[in-house]
A and B are shown apart, each in its own frame.
Chain A
Amino acid sequence: MKMKPIQIVCAVAIGAALLFCAGCKPKAEQAVQGEPSGKPSGKRKIAIVISTLNNPWFVVLAETAKARAIELGHDATVFDSQNDTAREAAHFENIIAARYDAILFNPTDANGSIANVRKAKAAGIPVFCIDREINATDAATAQILSDNYSGCVALGQYFVQRVGTNAKYAELLGIVGDNNTWNRSRGFHSVVDRYPGLKMVAQQSGEFDRAKGLEVMESILQAHPDIDAVFCGNDAMAMGAYQALVAAGKDKQVKVFGFDGAEDVIRLIAEKKIEATGMQFPKTMARMAAEFADEYFKGRRDFPQKVPVQVELVTQDNVHLYTGYGRKE
């Protein structure tokens, strides 16, 4: 008997939710059915599909793309794939059904996302890939890509310059199933492996995660207390590794190298606590993608398939030119 009022509240809430859904549905269908063949020029609907919003770097990417699209006079909606190709596929199906006019796309997987892009292409919706590529050159309208490999070649060269050719170092890899993890690692090793005196004593995954980076670094320090440097596949892990070094009192002994250009790493480089990072330009890439979509609406079709966006080396010497996720403007 005591449960009654709560049951009533629940029933009312569920009823209201159902009514709300029922009220929404015809509208959505109407939008799909009532699509005129020739649209009025001007305001278009842009979908921004992002691999994950659980990482500030991608939040910057999504927010900048959205802001630029709105600036150009369009509507923009952000979809979060939560690093899951299946969820991403569902987003694409909804986007196609709701007749969006363009998709700014940050893929979750270089191979797994190809089918989604093809589906959109078949439905006549242009897709512009941002930051991460798909392993197909005939599906997306254009791909604006961060040059991870070359960025890490430059980082590797600076690493050798700072650490010397006779030293022990550790590497923190990103998520082991991710293309960027290996593009970065390969770029770095293409330089560093040429010096036999530079010994990698540990290579472990910190999963692009700050807490994981901290834990892995703590364990590595137990096994190899005498390392001279650590190369981290992203800045979140670099921050975690740095915390572990501070706690162990080894932050002066071990030189930290990151990748991304995140705000706190830029700050620590300026304070001469971290050596260097590779600055990617999420804002530049996101803006370019929104502008490409706008140009597409206006009739442009001759987009290059791949537009590499340079990664810049940020060191203690040039850090004053940079801020989090870009150059100072």
Chain B
Amino acid sequence: MMKSPQLARFQSLIALALMIIALSVLSDKFLTVGNARNILLQISVNLCLSVGMTLVILTGGIDLSVGAILALAGAVAAGLLKNGIGLPMLGVHLEFTTTGAVLAGLLVGLVLGWFNGFTITRLGLPPFVATLAMMSIGRGLTMLWTGGFPITALGPSFGFIGTGYLLGLPMPVWICAALVALFHVVARHTRFGRYVYAVGGNERAALLTGLRVDRIKLGVYTICGVLAGVAGLIVTARLDAADPKAGMGYELDSIAAVVIGGTSLSGGRGSIPGTVLGCLIIGVLNNGLFLLDVSPFWQQVIKGIVILAAVAVDRLGTKRA
């Protein structure tokens, strides 16, 4: 049980090392401090989503709505910060500070994530269907909120979340590092974390031993929603704009990172450090392909092949083990 995730991690580590060596040989721009910082910055959004996604997938579920939640959370925060909100019934117009807008964005993630968990546990919908529906609802709400136009010029204090630096590293990197550390501890060293693995390993057994499976699932989807909200704030701050179509397809990038990192889509097996490696592999690959100025047509093919290879190696490894 404990052996296989470590093995998978070991294999992703080798894959990452090989890529880094190859790219360092092929491009003299690759192995520099600036570029390393750049890669960390660029994976931060995907990493944020993927931490939540890992927990969800560990329970044997899936969350297709993270990209849409990201867009809505960013748009709500930006809209409140820029225009405030009028409450005609009370005859007041509320203005928002940066902190208030950030909290509102996180709240959007929390509510939508919780609602995912609610429909999955209480209404018994399959996670694929429930979150697919939420993806559509979230996108629609974002378009309604923004009218289809980006909300721009949000100012430096909000922008700090995305473009600020602390001790030489960009803020998004710090935020992600903190989240990774937190949820790694939660997954490995708390009762909740052990239950997450137990639910994914064998849901029926978990139920029979008296675990409150529904509560654990509700918690996992809520966390995933909040983290999508965090990602939404980072994207919005980085662009200095909330783009209504932000995060489109990010759910798939995130699932890819989790799977490359050795987490099993059937649940119960995997880890957050593995997901960090998965994000790094995708980030290094993207960055390398740009540095080598590979044609955009080829980039998509190469990325697909790397995903296939990573998962195939993982499968072969676990079969033998």
Contact = CB atoms under 8 A, between A and B. Distances in A.
Contact of A176 (B35, B248, B297): B297
Contacts, number: 87
Given A211-B239, A218-B38, 12 more contacts: A3-B122, A6-B122, A54-B245, A56-B149, A59-B148, A173-B296, A204-B293, A218-B42, A222-B35, A223-B293, A236-B150, A239-B239
A203 B298 CA distance: 13
20 contacts: A10-B123, A59-B147, A202-B290, A204-B290, A209-B243, A211-B239, A211-B243, A211-B246, A215-B42, A219-B38, A222-B32, A222-B35, A223-B27, A236-B150, A236-B243, A243-B239, A243-B240, A247-B163, A247-B238, A264-B241
Interface in A225-255: 236, 239-240, 243, 246-247
Contacts of B239: 210-211, 214, 239-240, 243
Chain A's interface: helix, strand, loop or mixed, by majority?
A: helix
Nearest to A52: B245
Contacts of B27: 223
Interface residues of B, number: 35
Interface in A198-215: 201-205, 209-211, 214-215
Closest 6 pairs (CB-CB, A-B): A219-B290, A205-B296, A59-B148, A56-B149, A54-B245, A222-B35
B287 interface: yes
B290 A216 contact: yes
Contacts of A264: 150, 152-153, 241
B293 A222 contact: no
B245 A55 contact: yes
B293 A203 contact: yes
A222 B297 contact: no
A167 interface: no
Contacts of B32: 222
Given A53-B143, A55-B245, A218 B297 contact: no
Interface of B: 27, 29, 32, 34-35, 38, 41-42, 122-123, 143, 147-150, 152-153, 163, 235, 238-241, 243-246, 248, 286-287, 290-291, 293, 296-297
A217 to B, nearest CB: 10
A141 to B, nearest CB: 28
A220 interface: yes
Interface of A: 3, 6, 10, 53-56, 59, 173, 176, 201-205, 209-211, 214-216, 218-220, 222-223, 236, 239-240, 243, 246-247, 264
Given A6-B123, A210-B241, A222 B163 contact: no
Given A219-B290, A243-B238, A56 B29 contact: no
A236 B239 CA distance: 10
